[in-house]
Amino acid sequence: RLYGVYKVHGNYGRVFSEWSAIEKEMGDGLQSAGHHMDVYASSIDDILEDEEHYADQLKEYFYAEALRAVCRKHELMQYDLEMAAQDLASKKQQCEELATGTVRTFSLKGMTTKLFGQETPEQREARIKVLEEQINEGEQQLKSKNLEGREFVKNAWADIERFKEQKNRDLKEALISYAVMQISMCKKGIQVWTNAKECFSKM
């Protein structure tokens, strides 16, 4: 809509310029008024470029890709933590089943034991020892992932607070600049019509 208003001024400029060619007395005034209208009409390109710049600044915060990336990373870390906890629980259950000799869930191992007989005590002890080592490693890994997750959340929260502060500053600056540009644009419009009026009054 705004573009159309400016381009109408371009039409006024052309009409005044053509009119000035056939007028003898009013020719200079019409030519000057046409020139003012042409200048005003051509200024829309710079204004649209500035508006696009402000819109890009605002889009950065509306789409906030950086925040999405932080959330995605947190989700992945949470998933890793849950998988580590699940793996640890599974190993503890296997160790308990080996130690007691009872199988609570259906498994391939339980099926082969039923078909081919029990393991020797030495084999069972060796497997229990391996599982206990894996459980210890899993517990350490789970602690490490928990600490890493807490640290990440703490740092992410600080980053989000900084992002909010920066966003508020940038948005305020962008909106003030946009308002100043709009005021300047209106003043330019008033000046063009004042100059055109002067041109008409000299005729």
> How confident is the model over 30-59, as pLDDT tens digits?
888 888 888 888 888 888 888 888 888 777
Shared domain check, 79 and 49: no
Do residue 42 and residue 88 come from a single domain?
A: no
- Cβ neighbours of 65 (radius 10 Å): 8
> Collapsing DSSP states into helix, strand and coil, what is residue 203?
coil
Instruction: Please tell me the predicted confidence (pLDDT) of residue 182.
Output: 87
Same structural domain for residues 9 and 90?
Answer: no
Token pair for 169: 């500053």
- Answer yes or no: do 116 and 158 share one domain: yes
CA atoms within 13 A on the CB side of 7: 6
Is position 184 within any domain? no
Say yes or no: 105 and 121 in one domain: yes
For residue 75 the two structure tokens come to 């989700």
Q: Are residues 45 and 83 in the same domain?
A: no
Give the pLDDT score at 107.
59
Q: Are residues 56 and 6 in the same domain?
A: yes
Same domain, 110 and 155: yes
**How far are the Cα atoms of 11, 64, 159 from residue 67, in angstroms, in the given order?**
48, 6, 9
Mapping DSSP to helix (H, G, I), strand (E, B) and coil, where does residue 107 land?
coil
Residue pair 102/113 in contact (Cβ under 8 Å)? The answer is: no
Spell out, as residue ranges, where the chain has pLDDT lower than 70: 1, 62-63, 101-119
Q: What is the pLDDT of residue 145?
A: 92
50 and 68 both lie in a single domain: no
pTM above 0.75, yes or no: no
The contacts of residue 8 (CB under 8 Å, 6+ apart) are 41
pLDDT of 116 reads: 55
- The pLDDT assigned to 106 comes to 56
For residue 140, which phi and psi values (nearest 5 degrees)? Answer: -65, -45
Distance CA 173, CA 92 (A): 58
Q: Which structural domain, as residue segments, surrounds residue 70?
A: 64-175
Helix axes 2-22, 27-42, angle to 10 degrees: 160
Domain count, the chain: 2
Task: Give Cα 178 distance to the centre of its chain.
Answer: 22
Query: In terms of domains, do 89 and 123 share one?
Result: yes
Residue 156, domain member (yes or no): yes
